[in-house]
Homo-oligomer: A and B are copies of this chain.
Amino acid sequence: MNDSVVARLVQELGKDAVLTDPDVTAAYSRDMMPLAPYGSPVAVVLPTDVAGVQATVRACADAGVPIVPRGAGSGLSGAANAVDGCVVLVLTKLDRIVEIDAGNRIAVVQPGVVNLDFRNAVEKDGLFYPPDPSSYDWCTIGGNLSTNAGGLCCVKYGVTTDSVLGLEVVLADGSVLRTGRRTVKGVAGYDLAKLFVGSEGTLGVITEATVALKPLPQAPATLVAGFPATAAAGDAVARVVREGLVPSLLEIMDSTSIKAAENHLKTDLGTGSNCQALLLAQSDTGGEAARRELAVLEQICTDSGADMVYATDDLAEGRMLLQARRVVLTALEHYGVWLTDDVCVPRTRIAELISGCQQIGEDVGLRIAVVGHAGDGNMHPTIVYSPDSEDEFARARVAFDRILEVGLSLGGTVTGEHGVGKIKREWLEREIGPVGMRVHREIKRALDPGNLFNPGSMFSL
């Protein structure tokens, strides 16, 4: 059966679009999440247009061969990981920016376009595509859509779904659904576009998106504040929310992250040796308004007990300050390999989550660094373990689950932006319960009755 599906794919898509050498296909068999299981694909297919995607879907549907769609593979949930005997459908060659309509502030883009390339392209027209996951210099729009990716700017500009107006999707029978619209409003029928966004490739293959763009913000002014206690930083975040501020970035780093970044950058962040948490904030409202916004932020930090606050509207200096946040994961590699978790809690509960993670780190005897998007409560506790120790890996896995437990107990969700994939299936069930699971299965069966797309990812039928 597998030989015949490969032969058909080669016939329909051409030899160059179908990879079967196991050494080559292995490179497409998993994403960046070390915990997730992965299998061996029978082939990796790289179509260059929607017809090629349709041909792949039809060939696999006829042969009963599952399809795992993927983009660049920057995911952190194993959602793009191959299952044994599947066809991995790589969308990176559907890589055209079809249209930028500056007059209506919208664009039409294919899934294989790299996030940063798309951002740069629309910026030339004075426009802004907000979603900016940390991997924005290599992840693709298709992966962003499938995971409903977030990033640092979400606190002000929302996540991927908030930018999506319409989609083109290849369905399980190979037909093409065009859903949504090119207008900024519209209620003609169910909001199918937002159903496919974040469905992790389980309902169809997204082959094009129409997205709303925002005006390009002003160059950001930046503030950094050091706190002698995590709770004080948490208070500051809560007050930022409470007092109605909407900074364009509001990040938090715990003491472990700060030390790792300082060590890596071989610099002192100026926080003093007793610093337990760092807040980084930006305002992109420009000029006087940004200065006013940062002044209020500064006052809130000071009132909450910060013993160091520094603000600048120098762009290069701001970028340098932000660098401390951006290097944390790389910096942690000094101590071992890392496993990053993803929980989102109400913004008033951030300090509790961080201290919970510290406790878990002590309990399991591993270093856990917490960085996160404080402005929306989306935290990434990151567990460091030795790549050579099975025991440490097992303890890392325990810590990973205990962090989710704490996140749920604080009224949060088990994934803020990375997704469920192949690592949080049991946690999805725990979070949404049996009725929620039943509705998920009903929708999956309705749209993909043969369980063709990404079977076993997010949940099992």
Interface residues of A (CB under 8 A from B): 101-106, 126-127, 147-148, 150, 154, 158-159, 161-162, 171, 175-179, 181-192, 194-195, 197-199, 203, 214-216, 238, 241-246, 285, 288-289, 344-348, 373, 376-378, 411-420, 424, 427-428, 431-433, 435-436, 439-440, 442-443, 445-447, 458-459
The 9 closest A-B pairs by CB, nearest first: A215-B244, A446-B446, A186-B413, A194-B194, A442-B446, A183-B344, A184-B376, A185-B416, A103-B348
A121 CB → nearest B CB, Å:
17
The closest CB in chain B to the CB of A445 belongs to B446
Task: Choose among B161, B176, B346, B413 the residue that contacts A104 (Cβ–Cβ < 8 A).
Answer: B346
Q: Can you list 30 A-B pairs with a CB-CB distance of less than 8 A?
A: A103-B238, A103-B241, A103-B242, A126-B244, A148-B187, A150-B185, A154-B184, A159-B187, A171-B435, A177-B436, A181-B413, A183-B344, A183-B377, A183-B378, A183-B413, A185-B373, A185-B378, A187-B415, A187-B417, A187-B418, A187-B419, A187-B420, A188-B424, A191-B195, A192-B443, A215-B246, A442-B446, A443-B446, A443-B447, A446-B446
- Interfacial chain B residues near A418, Cβ < 8 Å: 187
A160 CB → nearest B CB, Å:
9
With A194-B191, A288-B288, A439-B179 in contact, do A186 and B433 touch (Cβ < 8 Å)? no
Task: Choose among B179, B191, B431 the residue that contacts A188 (Cβ–Cβ < 8 A).
Answer: B431
Query: Could you tell me if A179 and B447 are in contact, using CB atoms closer than 8 angstroms?
Result: no
Instruction: Give bound CA distance, A446 to B440, whole Å.
Output: 10
Instruction: Give bound CA distance, A197 to B192, whole Å.
Output: 11
Task: Choose among B188, B192, B416, B443 the residue that contacts A183 (Cβ–Cβ < 8 A).
Answer: B416
The closest CB in chain B to the CB of A193 belongs to B194
- Interfacial chain B residues near A447, Cβ < 8 Å: 439, 442-443
A117 CB → nearest B CB, Å:
22
Copy number in the complex reads: 2
Query: Could you tell me if B432 and A245 are in contact, using CB atoms closer than 8 angstroms?
Result: no
Instruction: Give bound CA distance, A216 to B127, whole Å.
Output: 26
Task: Choose among B177, B179, B191 the residue that contacts A198 (Cβ–Cβ < 8 A).
Answer: B191
Query: Could you tell me if B344 and A436 are in contact, using CB atoms closer than 8 angstroms?
Result: no
Instruction: Give bound CA distance, A147 to B188, whole Å.
Output: 10
A440 CB → nearest B CB, Å:
6
- Interfacial chain B residues near A175, Cβ < 8 Å: 435
Query: Could you tell me if A192 and B420 are in contact, using CB atoms closer than 8 angstroms?
Result: no
- Interfacial chain B residues near A150, Cβ < 8 Å: 185
The closest CB in chain B to the CB of A179 belongs to B436
Q: Specify which of A104, A195, A427, A447 lies most central, judged by the most chain B CB atoms within 10 Å of its CB.
A: A104
Instruction: Give bound CA distance, A373 to B424, whole Å.
Output: 43
Instruction: Give bound CA distance, A436 to B176, whole Å.
Output: 9
- Interfacial chain B residues near A417, Cβ < 8 Å: 185, 187
Query: Could you tell me if A347 and B104 are in contact, using CB atoms closer than 8 angstroms?
Result: yes
Task: Choose among B148, B215, B288 the residue that contacts A191 (Cβ–Cβ < 8 A).
Answer: B148
- Interfacial chain B residues near A181, Cβ < 8 Å: 344, 412-413
Instruction: Give bound CA distance, A246 to B194, whole Å.
Output: 24
Task: Choose among B103, B185, B378, B416 the residue that contacts A154 (Cβ–Cβ < 8 A).
Answer: B185
The closest CB in chain B to the CB of A411 belongs to B182
- Interfacial chain B residues near A215, Cβ < 8 Å: 243-246
With A177-B435, A194-B161 in contact, do A188 and B242 touch (Cβ < 8 Å)? no
- Interfacial chain B residues near A424, Cβ < 8 Å: 188
